[in-house]
């Protein structure tokens, strides 16, 4: 017996996150650590709970072990429910055969039975790789007030960056008139945040149509796709459905690349960035590690940094984010860097402008990354990245822009 | 560790409340905050869970609102279980009024113990902080066919400084030969950690006998009174232990955690200490922060100087402020340009800008819950 839900959220967490390279070798992108004690997926999951959405399907297919383990029964996000709650939905085999998720729309199509159990009015579609705090219930209210078929959350981006996003062109009532994916000459600066509210009945219809159309094209040997932005939104616009843009104001950051992941972490240290992790009315929940409080030693020198529980710091830490259980030995230096859980930075090692993955050992005298000032040609500068479980031996270096996934 | 359904754990969460009257004014022993992010009851609870004991009764006495709030359903200790799990046993006395001693308390909750399928019972207090695996103790208890196995540690005792200590003497066979409560002495001795293992059957016998004779003190009637009659053995626990028996010892015990060796003895990777999850953000250190030799819990925001101190969850320290040799409990807000030394602030104390507060290391100044200065 399933009771009816007004809203069901579907979280697309299947992405490989190939642009995060070494950090997603064994971990799905939504399980990538962020902000000292979180993983990317904590943001949409916490937003769901704080918005009163208590039924969430998480669509996974790439390296699901860590992510499945992390989500577990959903208890850290209060999503362990008798009716509803969080459910991990991997691809599965049926009588007609097995199929991987062939795009974002297809992933939801394959799980229509999950949604229908709750007979919802609306379905909220979310991504797993954005950092933001958002009340989805306000967006649903906006959707209802406009009698919309689909509402797309948008954010005003600088004109120079608009060509990186899917851009919405709207009339004065916020009704979407056109949608262009990564336009060369953007006609608007309203970028899609990859957050959609659909009237379920309409979404259902378009998912089935897209599936049939795409399969027919595939049989004819034509190009096909089963994607939200590309197919569902475009078809709905073509058919004159009511699509609206819901303008979001606040902090929103896509962490699709190593640079943006580093920046999004550094943003937490900037007083001008409006992302408050200490607001008791909108907490970001995460699965805790049961470690003692952090210990800061006699020789420590810490400035403008964020450090999580279980860490031991006796070295210099400046403008950096240390995750739980990190050790910074006396005489080690960490500047403008992100150090993920369980990593040890030994005495005399220098880590600058870098991302160091979890459970790494940076031996003494090793040098990871450089500041932009230390690099003669500015084009050669970029953050250095050490993947998870990597040992960097004594006196070895990792240059700016270099990404290593194996011991050196 | 796999689950051991053969053992029932019982915690006396309100034992010795009176010795730390400042901290127990609005709470009970078990819910006294400790070590930055814990409450005292987290230690016995985690000891049980890490030893595979997943059926645990918590015996309370008074002021247990904060304890109930902390424990909830027991989920954070993985004790929200169908089989066993956490059971709260509020006070109730057959003799009228609140129970007087361990035997009286056990007699009142006997139906809970009776209902359990466990063969053995482990009793623990909440005022002794230690990390212990009960499995070797249980093994010894079975091997020696003891009636009661007392867990003790060797440590310094000074009657001028310590309260409520039970000093044990054992003969060459490791059987109990003498029991002194708070003797006038100072020096190293075997101190009972107020933990013991006993079979349910034997416990039933002594509890019902005590009830029929109107006796309530386990130490007096059993350890001292039946010392020769029963086979009472000792098990030496070699780990670190701290007894919270005064506001001074509370301060010292917290300060001890600044010593890496002691911290590692209490917080072992193989035996995590579980506690209620607060979902605080990581600690944020400002541009002018200067920290040394301190233990700092999640959710703190520090702009000033902190030395030799323990900061609980969500403490804020303003710019230009110096916090030295302090224990600041959760939610303490210290404004800008203050100087605090040897202070204990209880929960949610607010200290406004420019204040200077000084205690002494041997007599720390205590500021009560929600105090505003």
Residue B229: which CATH number? Answer: 3.90.550.10
Q: Is the pLDDT at B324 greater than 90, yes or no?
A: yes
User: Which of the listed residues B266, B300, B324 is the one where a domain comes to its end?
Assistant: B266
User: Is residue B230 located within the same domain as residue B323?
Assistant: no
Q: What is the pLDDT of residue B93?
A: 59
Give a yes or no: residue B277 inside a domain.
Answer: no
Residue identified by tokens 């754990």 is B9
Q: Chain-wide mean pLDDT for chain A?
A: 90
User: Looking at the domain assignment, is residue B276 inside a domain?
Assistant: no
**Residues B290, B157 share a domain:** no
pTM over 0.80: yes
Mutation pick from A292, A298, A301, A341 vs chain B, by most beta carbons of B within 10 Å, is: A292
Average pLDDT over residues A35-44: 94
Q: Which residues of A touch B277 (CB under 8 A)?
A: 76, 288
Strand pairing report for A305-307 and A97-98: unpaired
Task: Check whether residue B261 and residue B291 sit in a common domain.
Answer: no
pLDDT tens digits for A352-390? 999 999 999 999 999 999 998 888 888 888 899 999 999
A185 vs A299, which has greater pLDDT?
Answer: A299
CB-based contact (8 Å) between B288 and chain A? yes
Longest dimension (CA), chain B: 68
CA neighbor of A130 nearest in space, from A14, A17, A44, A58: A44
Tell me if A154 sits within 8 A of A192, measured CB to CB: yes
What three-state secondary structure class fits B76? helix
Q: DSSP labels for A80-122?
A: --SSSEEEEE---EETTEE----SHHHHHHTTHHHHHTT--SE
The answer, for A291 touching chain B at a CB cutoff of 8 Å, is: yes
| CB contacts, 8 Å: A286 with chain B | 279
Q: Are residues B167 and B239 in the same domain?
A: yes
- Residues B18, B81, single domain; the answer is yes
| Residue that finishes a domain, picked among B234, B266, B298 | B266
Is the pLDDT score of A256 beyond 90?
no
Classify each residue of A135-164 as buried b or exposed e, where b means 16 or more C-beta atoms within 10 Å of its C-beta.
Answer: ebbebbebbeebebbbbbbbbebeeeebee
Residues B112-170 pLDDT 10s: 999 999 999 999 999 999 999 999 999 999 999 999 999 999 988 888 888 888 999 99
Quick check: A133 pLDDT over 80? yes
> Is the domain of B84 the same as that of B198?
yes
- B142 in contact with A, Cβ within 8 Å: no
Q: How many CB pairs under 8 A join A and B?
A: 106
Distance separating alpha carbons of residues A257 and A342, to the nearest angstrom: 23
A292·B289 Cβ contact <8 A: no
Strand partners, A367: A350, A397
**Token digits of residue A315:** 């070295």
Collect all residues of chain A within an 8 Å Cβ-Cβ radius of residue B308: none
Residues whose CB falls within 8 Å of the CB of residue B173, separated by 6 or more in sequence, listed in order:
none
Helix, strand, or coil here: B350? strand
B266 min Cα distance to partner chain A (Å): 10
For residue B268, is pLDDT > 60?
yes
Q: Which of A283, A300, A322 sits opposite B291 (nearest CB)?
A: A300
Q: What is the domain range of residue B239? A: 7-266
Nearest chain B CA: its distance from A394 CA (Å): 26
Beta carbons of B295 and A284 less than 8 Å apart: no
Average the pLDDT over B77-93 and give the result.
Answer: 86
Average pLDDT over residues A132-142: 95
User: Does residue B1 fall inside a structural domain?
Assistant: no
State whether B303 and B184 are in the same domain. Answer: no
Looking at the structure, do residues B310 and B235 belong to the same domain, yes or no?
Answer: no
Other beta carbons within 10 angstroms of residue B328's beta carbon come to 30
pLDDT > 70 in chain A, percent: 98
Residue of B272, B277, B295 with shortest CB distance to A295: B295
Q: What is the mean pLDDT of residues B279-299?
A: 94
Distance CA A259, CA A353 (A): 10
The shortest CB-CB distance from B297 to any of A35, A290, A293 is to A293
In chain B, the number of structural domains is 2
State yes or no: ipTM above 0.85: yes
- Best to test chain A binding among B268, B298, B309 (most A CBs inside 10 Å): B298
* Residue B275: inside a domain: no
In chain A the first and final C-alpha atoms are separated, in Å, by 56
Instruction: Please identify, among B266, B298, B318, the residue that sits at the C-terminal boundary of a domain.
Output: B266
Give the gyration radius of chain A's Cα atoms: 22
B285 and A309: CB-CB below 8 Å? no
Question: How high is the mean pLDDT of chain B?
Answer: 91
CA pair distance B96, B76, nearest whole angstrom = 35
Q: B135 and B38, same structural domain?
A: yes
Is residue B88 located within the same domain as residue B224? yes
Q: Do B298 and A309 touch (CB under 8 A)?
A: yes
Minimal CA separation from A166 to chain B, in Å: 32
pLDDT of residue B104: 86
Q: Is A290 helix (H, G, I), strand (E, B) or coil?
A: coil
Average pLDDT over residues B231-249: 93
- For residue A60, the model assigns a pLDDT of 87
Q: Do the chains contact at A299 and B292, CB–CB below 8 Å?
A: yes
User: What is the reported pLDDT for A17?
Assistant: 64
B11 by Cβ neighbours in 10 Å (0-12 / 13-18 / 19+) ranks as buried
Interface with B, mutate which of A46, A269, A296 (most B CBs under 10 A): A296
> Which region holds residue B323: left if phi is over 0, alpha if psi is between -120 and 50, else beta?
beta
Asked if B259 reaches chain A (Cβ–Cβ under 8 Å), the answer is no
Lowest-confidence region among A67-81, A95-109, A130-144, B223-237: A95-109
* Residue B351 within a domain: yes
Question: Which residue(s) pair with A320 in the sheet?
Answer: none
Backbone angles phi, psi at B163, to 5 degrees: -125, 165
Question: Do residues B324 and B255 share a domain?
Answer: no
**Residue B307 in domain:** yes
Both B141 and B196 in one domain: the answer is yes
């Amino acid at each position: 017996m399933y009771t009816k839900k007004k809203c069901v959220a579907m979280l697309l967490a299947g992405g490989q996150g190939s642009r995060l390279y070494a950090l997603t070798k064994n971990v799905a992108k939504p399980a990538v650590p962020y902000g000292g004690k979180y993983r990317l997926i904590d943001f949409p999951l916490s937003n769901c709970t704080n918005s009163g959405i208590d039924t969430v399907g998480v669509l996974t297919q790439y390296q699901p072990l860590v992510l499945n383990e992390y989500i577990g029964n959903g208890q850290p996000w209060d999503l362990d429910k008798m009716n509803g709650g969080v459910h991990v939905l991997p691809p599965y085999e049926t009588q007609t055969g097995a199929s991987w998720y062939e795009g974002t729309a297809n992933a939801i199509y394959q799980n229509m039975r999950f949604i229908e159990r709750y007979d919802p009015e609306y379905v909220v579609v979310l991504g797993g790789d954005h950092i933001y705090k958002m009340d989805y219930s306000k967006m649903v209210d906006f959707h209802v007030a406009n009698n919309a078929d689909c509402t797309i959350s948008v954010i005003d981006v600088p004109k120079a960056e608009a060509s990186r996003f899917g851009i919405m062109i709207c009339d004065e009532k916020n009704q979407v008139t056109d949608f262009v994916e990564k336009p060369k000459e953007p006609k608007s600066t309203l970028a899609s945040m990859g957050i959609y509210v659909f009237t379920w009945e309409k979404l259902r219809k378009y998912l089935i149509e897209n599936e049939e159309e795409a399969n027919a094209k595939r049989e004819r040997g034509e190009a096909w796709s089963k994607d939200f932005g590309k197919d569902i939104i475009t078809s709905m616009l073509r058919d004159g459905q009511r699509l609206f843009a819901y303008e979001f104001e606040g902090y929103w950051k896509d962490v699709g690349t190593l640079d943006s992941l580093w920046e999004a972490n550094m943003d937490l240290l900037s007083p001008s960035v409006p992302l408050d992790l200490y607001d008791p009315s909108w907490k970001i929940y995460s699965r805790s590690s049961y470690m003692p409080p952090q210990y800061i030693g006699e020789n420590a020198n810490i400035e403008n940094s964020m450090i999580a529980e279980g860490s031991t710091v006796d070295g210099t830490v400046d403008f950096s984010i240390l995750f739980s259980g990190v050790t910074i030995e006396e005489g080690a230096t960490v500047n403008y860097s992100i150090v993920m859980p369980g990593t040890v930075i030994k005495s005399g090692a220098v880590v600058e402008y870098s991302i160091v993955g979890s459970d790494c050992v940076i031996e003494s005298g090793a040098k990871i990354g450089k500041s932009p000032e230390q690099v003669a040609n500015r084009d050669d500068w970029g953050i250095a990245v050490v993947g998870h479980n990597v040992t960097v031996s004594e006196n070895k270096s990792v240059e700016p822009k270099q990404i290593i996934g194996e011991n050196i | 560790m796999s689950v051991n359904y053969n053992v029932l754990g019982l915690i006396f969460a309100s034992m010795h409340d009176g010795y730390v009257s400042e901290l127990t004014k609005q709470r009970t022993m078990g819910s006294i905050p400790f070590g930055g992010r814990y409450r005292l009851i987290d230690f016995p609870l985690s000891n049980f869970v890490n030893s595979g004991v997943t059926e645990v009764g918590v015996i309370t006495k008074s002021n247990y609102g904060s304890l109930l709030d902390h424990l909830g359903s027991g989920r954070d200790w993985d004790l929200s279980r169908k089989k066993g799990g956490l059971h709260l046993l509020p006070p109730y006395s057959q003799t009228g009024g609140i129970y007087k001693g361990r035997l009286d308390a056990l007699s009142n909750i006997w139906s809970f113990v009776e209902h359990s399928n466990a063969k053995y019972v482990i009793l623990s207090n909440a005022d002794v902080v230690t990390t212990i695996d009960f499995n070797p103790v249980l093994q010894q208890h079975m091997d020696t066919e003891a009636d009661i196995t007392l867990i003790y540690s060797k440590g310094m005792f000074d009657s001028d400084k310590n309260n409520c200590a039970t000093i044990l003497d054992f003969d060459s066979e490791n059987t109990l030969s003498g029991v002194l409560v708070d003797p006038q002495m100072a020096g190293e001795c075997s101190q009972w950690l107020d933990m013991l293992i006993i079979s349910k059957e034997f416990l039933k016998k002594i509890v019902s006998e005590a009830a029929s004779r109107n006796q309530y003190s386990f130490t007096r009637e059993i350890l001292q009174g039946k010392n020769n009659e029963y086979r009472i053995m000792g098990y030496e626990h070699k780990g670190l232990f701290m007894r919270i028996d005064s506001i001074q010892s509370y301060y010292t015990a917290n300060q001890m955690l600044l010593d890496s060796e002691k911290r590692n003895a209490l917080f072992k990777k193989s035996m995590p200490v579980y506690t209620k999850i607060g979902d605080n953000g990581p600690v944020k250190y400002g541009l002018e922060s200067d920290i040394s030799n301190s233990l700092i819990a999640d959710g703190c925001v520090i702009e000033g100087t902190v030395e030799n101190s323990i900061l609980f969850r969500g403490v804020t320290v303003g710019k230009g402020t110096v916090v030295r040799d302090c224990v600041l409990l959760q939610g303490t807000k210290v404004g800008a340009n203050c100087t605090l030394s040897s202070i204990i602030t209880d929960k949610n104390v607010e200290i406004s800008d420019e204040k200077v507060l000084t205690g002494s290391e041997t007599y720390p100044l205590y500021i009560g819950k929600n105090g505003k200065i």
